[in-house]
Amino acid sequence: MSRQRIIVPDTNWVPNLSQFPGPKYLALSRALREAIRSGELPPDSQLPTVRDLAWRLHLTPGTVARAYQLATQEGLLAATVGRGTFVAAQSPRLGPTQPLYTERVTGGATGLVDLRPPLVPEVGQAEAFRAALLVMAEATGQGWLDYTSQRGEAALRAEIVAWMGDRILGPIGPDDVALTHGGQNAISLIFDCCLRGERPVVLIEELAYPGFRYAARAARAEVVAVEIDEHGMVPAALEAACRRHGAQVLCLTTEAQNPTTGRMPVRRRQEIADIARSYDLQVLEDDCYSVAESDIPSLRALAPERVWLVGSVSKTISAALRFGYVICPSGMGEAGRLTAQYGFFALSRPVADLMLHLFRSGAAADIKSKVQAEFAARQQILLNLLGGYDLCWQPGVPFVWLRMPQGWRASTFVRMAEARGVLLRSADEYALVHARAPNAIRIAIAANLPRHDFVAAVTTLAELLARPPADLTV
């Protein structure tokens, strides 16, 4: 039987936002959180409408709507179509409360250009997949009737070792590799291997790939953000977090930090590795966005006994394949593969055979080279159009980080860009809900778009940047 909602009349709630610094929508979301936790807004209270609360607080409706959305994603509010927004019952929710990825909306009748995800271009993948599938069709037999096994993936794991030959990873072999259904699945596998206890702690960069915190929360872990600077995670801040929280896993990106594009120098990597040893941290090193080659040691090379390196082919071949891998710490490959076996047995046979064919035939390397060439060409287009602004970028990394010029707030720019048909991600999406985010946005190099559409979208951004609005109430 469904629970009958008993509506508590509109509370006429009007918070004092002056005590909460930062953008108004974040201040309002914090005020909501405090009012709910203190009991000022009890469960099932009906909140004012967006327009009503905007009028009371002298804000725009868009600001209030965004604060309500954040609180809803956190599980504090529940919106009912046609009835309004209510304070949610404070019992724990089952499962995630928001999607990990936003549905792609580029093209078609939407008229929108999506510069949120960096998607690979079509450079011959369809034909390569077709050729591989025809070969596979001729080879199907009894082996396609039983469950797949980890033992049957040995040849594919050997190909991964060769595929990673342009990285300095330290000594690795096929026995160090576990195969997964993409990079996000690899993160969950590592948490399954490493987290223990009722409320373990995972450390992430203060601006980080959102998938880290979603996977940690699914594992019932507490997520703690650690300060970063232009060189990556700050060692003193990491050590302080270790002392305070007793964390078990550290997640970070050394080669191409998402979203800032920063690259961690060797000395900083060594400091991070030393702290991880001192506090017995397991380290998840995300390599999914790395540049084509690296001439400095990975964390996996500096601390092979505790670093789990995650990679995938989503940014080099195709995101549709859902193929990823983990280079496990020395001696932990079997543990990684057993965890995969308990979680999903093994990769599906079609995906495993397709990837093996692509690697062995050289098609994977050929596609990767062409994808990187197209990313580089579009990166140059973007730099030519926006190079006069404060951009952070790396050759080969399919996104740039734009620090907003004077007169712009990131939230306002994202909203106005969407009104002009271009979708972007602001820094807020990479920070924890209660944290302060810098005044910056990430712009993806969407290589799946026709070039003229990409040029038009970036030109639109340049036009907007040149004319900041007079009113910055949002």
Rounded Cα–Cα distance for residues 349 and 467 (Å)? 54
Structure tokens, 107: 């093209």
CB 276 within 8 A of CB 270: no
What residues contact residue 125 under an 8 Å CB cut-off, 6+ apart?
317, 318, 367
- pLDDT, tens digit (0-9, with 9 covering 90-100), for 56-111: 998 988 888 888 887 887 778 887 666 788 888 765 444 555 555 555 555 544 57
In degrees to the nearest 10, what's the CA dihedral of 246, 247, 248, 252?
-150
373 phi and psi, to 5 degrees?
Answer: -65, -40
CB 308 within 8 A of CB 328: yes
pLDDT for residue 98:
55
Structure tokens, 3: 């629970």
Among candidate residues 313, 99, 308, 319, the one with its CA nearest the CA of residue 188: 308
- pLDDT, tens digit (0-9, with 9 covering 90-100), for 434-452: 778 899 999 999 999 999 9
% the chain with pLDDT above 70: 91
Structure tokens, 427: 């820094």
The domains found in the chain, sorted by start residue, are 17-87 (1.10.10.10), 108-118+365-465 (3.90.1150.10), 142-361 (3.40.640.10)
pLDDT for residue 7:
47
pLDDT for residue 92:
47
Rounded Cα–Cα distance for residues 137 and 449 (Å)? 32
In this predicted structure, the answer to whether residue 286 has a pLDDT above a threshold of 70 is yes
CB 96 within 8 A of CB 214: yes
Rounded Cα–Cα distance for residues 254 and 258 (Å)? 10
Within the chain, how many helices (H) and strands (E) appear?
15, 17
**Residue carrying the six token digits 């549709």:** 320
Which of the listed ranges 25-29, 146-150, 208-212 does the model predict with the highest average pLDDT?
208-212
